[in-house]
């Protein structure tokens, strides 16, 4: 079995919002487990289907990057693996195909 990882993974635990997963759950909250230049592994309350398109936002605390405000990274990618490691959370590996920094007026 070969390892499909394409970069160094960093064990970074940040809040994440998965957007538009279904009409019943238009947004999922979770946390990142690790991040690389090509992808992210996340923990969420719902299993996401492998090969499905995923859109998410990762909030990077301003204090972690010497910024006055938190930074939101908007990503579009796809699910490459879904694990059920506990009864409460699902682990999901996503490849990041596109990303952009979100500028928000007023708030963090």
Per residue in 2-23, pLDDT tens? 445 567 999 999 999 999 766 6
Q: Does a structural domain hold residue 98?
A: yes
Query: What is the per-residue pLDDT for 106?
Result: 54
Q: How many domains does the chain have?
A: 1
What's the rounded Cα separation, in Å, for the pair 52 and 65?
31
Specify if 5 maps to a domain: no
Q: What is the pLDDT of residue 5?
A: 56
* Within a domain: 10: no
| 23 falls within a domain | yes
Any domain includes 2? no
> Closest Cα partner for 61 from 72, 52, 50?
72
Task: Please indicate, yes or no, if residue 69 is contained in any of the structural domains.
Answer: yes
Q: Residue 83: which CATH number?
A: 2.40.10.220
- For residue 45, the enclosing domain spans 15-102
């Amino acid at each position: 079995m070969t390892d499909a990882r394409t970069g160094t993974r960093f064990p970074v635990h940040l809040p994440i919002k998965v957007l538009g997963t279904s009409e019943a759950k238009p947004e999922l909250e979770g946390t990142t487990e690790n991040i690389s230049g090509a992808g992210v592994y996340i923990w969420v309350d719902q299993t996401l289907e492998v090969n499905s398109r995923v859109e998410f936002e990762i909030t990077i605390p301003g204090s972690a990057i010497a910024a006055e405000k938190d930074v939101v990274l908007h990503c579009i990618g796809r699910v490459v693996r879904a694990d059920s490691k506990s009864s409460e959370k699902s682990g999901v590996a996503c490849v990041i195909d596109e990303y952009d920094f979100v500028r928000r007026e007023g708030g963090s």
